[in-house]
């Protein structure tokens, strides 16, 4: 029995090590690709990057499945079949090795998820502001051809009235401007991430710090999309209320 | 009838209208076509489209979200939209099947998720292979979710066995199509 346990443990260790080596090879080869795809992908939702990442994470999960199946069959199977004859050393060594393998999977998962970094929403927003500055005086009335100055950045189709003939025109924002609305909260969160970090790192949790973060985040959000301020503030009050309940 | 003031229509667009419109957007109807069916101009639709999600965010009771799901699942019966897509034709083929056959929906839901795990666009895979649009898939999801949830509560083991079988089937299928998994050659 001792010899069987020794051999099984050795094979288990070798098996997991091989999986870890393969995992390392796959991730190390993929990370530069992930970064490049994220950078080059013109799709604002970065779907090509998302699909590649999902595929890699799927392969990591398959390796975890492989390890779990072998653990169930060969390690637990041996423990159950030999009953009291299995030493605690065998059990502990095999479980600890599997724990280390799982931790490695977790680390590689984080590495892949974080490889591309965050989308620079600030740069995108500034680009859209600059683009808007260029086109805001180029809109003309469909009826009389008079110039219509667009007073501010609109994010959805909006009626604008011609000052000369009072005709109602429809201003269609660019797809970039529409994305500003879509990204507004994320950009506000990026701008105030340092305040959230302070709240998250403080132990015990301090509700005042969360409120400070939330107010700052909504101030930024309102600054990016001023037309949404009224609605945003209603949402802010709801989050504040939810948060006070959670901190009771 | 609920007294929730957040359920008041926005520019004449009710929650039923909005939910059906979202379902049809998912099936490929354009925003311009949606606005036309609802009898409003594009800016009016877009503002309603902006404000209904805001109402959902404000609603602590989740009533709007719940009703949205119900109306979304019944989008095919919405009087304004029933004739707007496919000239009012009934669902056919797999699109009809996924709305009538819960097991078929559950299998395709697993297939879609496994496709994503193999780096594919799962929703697109369903559309290509079965001709089921994202909107119709979501309508089926809204229709079956409550029943599936009840079945999980009643018999969790049976549910997981079925899911495991679907997972195994599609993992094998997608892996074979890609020449296997990265570590298939590593054995105990």
Mutation pick from B47, B114, B183, B187 vs chain A, by most beta carbons of A within 10 Å, is: B183
Residues of A whose CB is below 8 A from B117: 54-55, 57-58, 61
B185 is a domain residue = no
User: Quick one: tokens of B112?
Assistant: 């879609």
Report if residue B19 sits inside a domain. yes
- In this complex, the residue of A51, A61, A238 whose CB is nearest that of residue B57 is A238
**8-state DSSP, B89:** P
3-state secondary structure of A187: helix
Residues in B touching A64 (Cβ below 8 Å): none
Please list the residue range(s) of chain A that carry CATH number 1.20.58.
Answer: 2-114
Say how far apart CA B120 and CA A58 lie, in whole Å: 11
Last residue of a domain, one of B61, B88, B115: B88
The ipTM of this complex is: 0.72
Chain B residues with CB within 8 Å of chain A CB: 41-43, 46-47, 49-51, 54, 57-58, 60, 116-121, 171, 175, 181-183, 186-188
CB B51 within 8 A of CB A231: yes
Q: Give the model's pLDDT for residue A2.
A: 83
Domain termination residue (choose one: B57, B88, B119): B88
Is the domain of B52 the same as that of B16?
yes
Contacts of A11 in chain B (CB under 8 A): 188
Mean pLDDT, to the nearest integer, of A83-105?
88
pLDDT at residue A120 in the model: 87
Among B88, B105, B129, where does a domain finish?
B88
Interface test with A, best of B43, B124, B172 (most A CBs within 10 A): B43
pLDDT at B38: 94
Residues B113, B75 share a domain: no
Domains contained in chain B, number: 2
The verdict on B83 and B114 lying in the same domain is no
Report yes or no on whether pTM surpasses 0.80.
no
Q: What is the mean pLDDT of residues A192-221?
A: 94
The verdict on B105 and B45 lying in the same domain is: no
Taking CB atoms within 8 Å and a gap of at least 24, the contacts of B97-105 are B98/B130, B98/B132, B98/B136, B98/B137, B98/B140, B99/B136, B99/B139, B99/B140, B99/B143, B102/B144, B102/B147, B102/B148, B105/B140, B105/B141, B105/B143, B105/B144
Banded model confidence at residue A88, pLDDT cuts 50, 70, 90: confident
Closest approach of B89 to chain A, Cα-based (Å): 31
Q: For A116-133, what is the mean pLDDT? A: 90
Q: Is residue B164 part of a domain?
A: yes
Looking at chain B, the whole-number percentage of residues with pLDDT higher than 70 is: 95
**A232: Cβ–Cβ under 8 A, 6 or more apart, which residues?**
A218, A221, A222, A225
Does residue B77 lie in a domain region?
yes
User: Residues B109, B153: one domain?
Assistant: yes
Residue B35 lies in a domain: yes
Q: Which residues of B touch A231 (CB under 8 A)?
A: 51, 54, 58
Window from A58-67, A81-90, A151-160, B90-99 with minimum mean pLDDT: A81-90
In the prediction, which pLDDT does B87 show? 45
Residue B188 lies in a domain: no
Name the CATH topology of A2-114.
Answer: Methane Monooxygenase Hydroxylase; Chain G, domain 1 (1.20.58)
Q: Which helix H or strand E contains B142, and what residues bound it?
A: helix B134-154
What is the C-alpha to C-alpha distance for residues B86 and B3, in angstroms, rounded to an integer? 36
pLDDT-derived band at A84 (thresholds 50, 70, 90) equals low
Place B90 in a pLDDT band, splitting at 50, 70 and 90.
low
- Residue range(s) defining the domain that contains residue B55: 5-88
Q: Confirm if B126 and B110 have CB atoms less than 8 A apart.
A: no
**Closest residue on chain A to B187 (Cα):** A15
In this model, does residue B111 exceed pLDDT 90?
A: yes
The whole-chain average pLDDT of chain B stands at 90
Cis peptide before B183 (omega within 30 of 0): no
* Residue B88, pLDDT above cutoff 80: no
B103 and B169 in one domain? Answer: yes
- A-B interface: how many C-beta pairs under 8 angstroms? 78
């Amino acid at each position: 029995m001792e010899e069987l346990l020794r051999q099984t443990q050795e094979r288990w260790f070798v098996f997991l090590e091989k999986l870890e080596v393969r995992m390392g090879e796959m991730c190390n080869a993929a990370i530069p690709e992930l970064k490049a795809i994220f950078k080059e992908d013109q799709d604002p939702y970065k779907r090509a990057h998302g699909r590649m990442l999902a595929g890699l994470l799927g392969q990591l999960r398959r390796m975890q499945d492989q390890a779990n199946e072998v653990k169930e069959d060969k390690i637990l199977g041996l423990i159950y079949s030999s009953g009291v004859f299995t030493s605690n050393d065998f059990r502990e060594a095999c479980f600890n090795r599997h724990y280390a393998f799982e931790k490695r999977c977790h680390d590689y998962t984080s590495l892949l998820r974080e490889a591309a970094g965050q989308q620079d929403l600030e740069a995108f927003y500034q680009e859209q502001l600059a683009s808007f500055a260029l086109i805001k005086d180029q809109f003309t009335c469909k009826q009389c051809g008079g110039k219509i100055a667009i007073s501010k950045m609109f994010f959805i189709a909006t009626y604008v009235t011609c000052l000369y003939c009072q005709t109602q025109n429809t201003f269609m924002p660019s797809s970039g401007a529409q994305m500003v609305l879509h990204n507004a909260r994320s950009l506000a969160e990026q701008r105030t991430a340092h305040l959230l970090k302070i709240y998250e790192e403080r132990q015990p949790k301090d509700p005042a710090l969360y409120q400070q973060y939330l107010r700052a985040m909504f101030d930024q959000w309102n600054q990016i999309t001023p037309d949404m301020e009224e609605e945003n503030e209603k949402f802010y009050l709801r989050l504040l209320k939810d948060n006070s309940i959670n901190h009771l | 009838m609920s007294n929730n003031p957040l359920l008041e229509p926005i520019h004449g667009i009710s929650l039923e209208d909005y939910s059906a419109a979202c379902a049809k957007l998912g099936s490929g109807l354009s925003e311009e076509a949606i606005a036309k069916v609802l009898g409003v101009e594009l800016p009016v639709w877009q503002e309603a489209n902006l404000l209904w999600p805001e109402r959902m965010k404000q609603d602590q009771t989740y009533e709007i979200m719940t009703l949205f799901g119900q109306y979304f699942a019944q989008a095919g019966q919405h009087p304004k939209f029933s004739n707007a897509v496919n000239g009012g034709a009934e669902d056919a083929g797999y699109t009809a099947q996924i709305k009538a056959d819960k097991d078929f929906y559950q299998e395709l839901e697993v297939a879609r998720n496994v496709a994503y795990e193999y780096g594919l666009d799962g929703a697109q895979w369903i559309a290509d292979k079965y001709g089921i649009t994202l909107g119709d898939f979501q309508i089926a999801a809204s229709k079956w979710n409550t029943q599936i949830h009840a079945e999980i509560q009643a018999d969790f083991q049976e549910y997981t066995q079925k899911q495991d079988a679907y997972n195994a089937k599609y993992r094998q299928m997608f892996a074979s199509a890609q020449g296997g998994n990265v570590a298939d050659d590593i054995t105990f």
